[in-house]
Chains A and B, each alone.
Chain A
Amino acid sequence: MLVETKALTRRFGGLVAVDQVDFQVRRGQTKALIGPNGAGKTTLLNLVSGLLPASSGDILIRGRSVVSCGPHEIAALGLARTFQNVQLFENMTVKENVMVGCHAWSKQGIASGALRWIGHWREEKLIEQEAERQLEFVGLSDLADFPAHSLPFGKQRMLEIARALASRPQVLLLDEPASGLSTRETSELAELLRQISVRGITILLVDHDMQFVMDISDEVVVLDQGRKIAEGTPAEIQVNPRVIAAYLGAEAK
């Protein structure tokens, strides 16, 4: 198991946003996490990536318990993510954004940077190459030197993915990568995710676009009001009565 949660729970005051959730992500698979608005999907991703402390329960990454780890330590274990509301480093260029992504595997410290030791040059070259490679991969090479905030929204999402990939993750968490994209962009994204998966990177993704989700994922977990209500292949999920009830219930409200 690459990522595993055990009875993971998170409360906000009286609200239980994630309630006793057990789920696993196997190496190499593309897993989707769906559920109506407010189901607790983002909260779950935040817990797994260490941005929020859990109220109780356990999280294992590659068999190691990480509940007491900070987000940077979890990132060092090979987990990268994107955000529902795109969080780029707006004061930096597109390329620099991706270069920050290389932070997890690069090492040079402040003294090396300040004094330009040999290690700095060597590593900087590697970082730059990696950044260029990822930009090329998502098709943003020609915009590398523009400020990140000047990109149109769809490209900002791509940039965020490139940035996450630059950290050479084993598992990539994507929080609603398709929201706000046009149909064409969504299908491009699906293609991109397939390629990422082919590279051997495990994907855990959250989205509301059912067709997109069912298209690319091997397995789907459904969350409702913080609880896991179903898990299975896309085909199974589509006919699961509890899932349909949850979505219909959400719509009826």
Chain B
Amino acid sequence: MDLLAQVPQLVVSGITLGCIYAIVAVGFSIIYSSTQVINFAQGEFVMIGAMVAAVLLAKTSLLVAFPAAVASGCLAGALVALFVLIPLKRASVISLIIITIGTSIMFRGLAQLFWGESAIPAPPFTGVAVQGYVEDREFHLFGAYIRAQELWVIGVTALLVVGMHVFFRYTLVGQAMRACAINQLGARIVGINARRMITASFIMAAGLGAVAGVVVSPVFYAKCNMGTALGLGGFCAAVLGGLGNFAGGVAAGIILGIVESLTGGLLWSDYKDAVAFVILLVILLIRPEGVLRKRAEA
């Protein structure tokens, strides 16, 4: 019964992780639906956000660190779009994969070069200073301790998801991006600049990832190789929810986070790092077209 008592706590940390997966999944979907590219560097945007935030939070306040981290994430996204994807015309899927992997390991290497290999702790956003270091507030709820930072993660995710929804539904740019996704040629004919849309989608996906990185850096610590696992988890969520389907991706991300945390905590603690990958593999083999999306064909 000792195990069962852990369940609420595991669910809480699962939701936190799942929120990050959800945001990464939305990033995958944004880029995929405007360019048909799966960006293997997606997880690295989270890493960049987390690293910049962790480094800056140690010196300055959140008000500086947050925008700076998000800006550097966006910059990374813009660089990828401008220097890597756009020069590449008529690329095969295999070369797109190779190129985005190239950018991914390059970002990781650069992060390691600048900030070293070890994990960097970041102080929580709303903590209380105790003897020189900042301790997070904790709430007790349904037998689980919830840290204030975890509430931040959940809140920011909710805000981002609503924001994305509003953006794609009700703004002109968002609608243009959707048009581009549905039919590039058609979009070009009505005067939408596809190249600008590609750049925009990369910046947006990268910015989202970076926000996720900033809010989790106090929870997970920032590490230069954190991107791969988060990126794959996010991809798994995006596939589960159906690529291009934002709501599906978000739901799948949170479910995935909870499942991963529960299986890792209760069943296979030795292999908890492998859980997300096993789920990804199983999903890909059973239903590559997504579980949360209705089957297109009977």
Contacts and interface: CB of A to CB of B under 8 A. Distances in A.
Direct contact of A and B (CB under 8 A): yes
Contacts of B298: 11
A27 B227 CA distance: 62
Interface in B253-298: 296-298
A12 B297 CA distance: 7
Contacts of A11: 297-298
Nearest to B296: A13
A18 to B, nearest CB: 14
Contacts of A13: 296-297
Interface in A4-54: 11-13
Q: Which 4 A-B pairs have the closest CB atoms?
A: A13-B296, A13-B297, A12-B297, A11-B297
Nearest to B295: A13
5 contacts: A11-B297, A11-B298, A12-B297, A13-B296, A13-B297
Interface string B189-229: 00000000000000000000000000000000000000000
A76 B171 CA distance: 56
Which secondary structure dominates chain B's binding surface?
A: loop
Contacts of B297: 11-13
Interface of A: 11-13
Which secondary structure dominates chain A's binding surface?
A: strand
A153 to B, nearest CB: 18
Contacts, number: 5
B135 to A, nearest CB: 56
A11 B296 CA distance: 11
A11 B297 CA distance: 8
Contacts of A12: 297
Nearest to B297: A13
A12 B298 CA distance: 9
A49 B227 CA distance: 45
B289 to A, nearest CB: 13
B120 to A, nearest CB: 47
B23 to A, nearest CB: 31
A149 to B, nearest CB: 13
A13 B298 CA distance: 7
B55 to A, nearest CB: 47
A205 B297 CA distance: 29
Contacts of B296: 13
B33 to A, nearest CB: 19
A178 B27 CA distance: 45
A11 B298 CA distance: 9
A119 B296 CA distance: 48
A13 B294 CA distance: 12
A13 B296 CA distance: 6
B109 to A, nearest CB: 32
A57 to B, nearest CB: 15
Nearest to A12: B297
B295 to A, nearest CB: 10
A27 to B, nearest CB: 35
Nearest to B298: A11
B239 to A, nearest CB: 21
Interface in B24-40: none
B290 to A, nearest CB: 16
A12 B296 CA distance: 9
B134 to A, nearest CB: 55
B36 to A, nearest CB: 19
A105 to B, nearest CB: 31
A89 to B, nearest CB: 14
A171 B296 CA distance: 34
A21 to B, nearest CB: 19
A200 to B, nearest CB: 39
B95 to A, nearest CB: 14
B244 to A, nearest CB: 16
A12 B295 CA distance: 12
A46 to B, nearest CB: 15
A196 to B, nearest CB: 34
A16 to B, nearest CB: 12
B298 to A, nearest CB: 7
Interface in B131-179: none
A25 B271 CA distance: 59
A136 B298 CA distance: 47
A25 B298 CA distance: 30
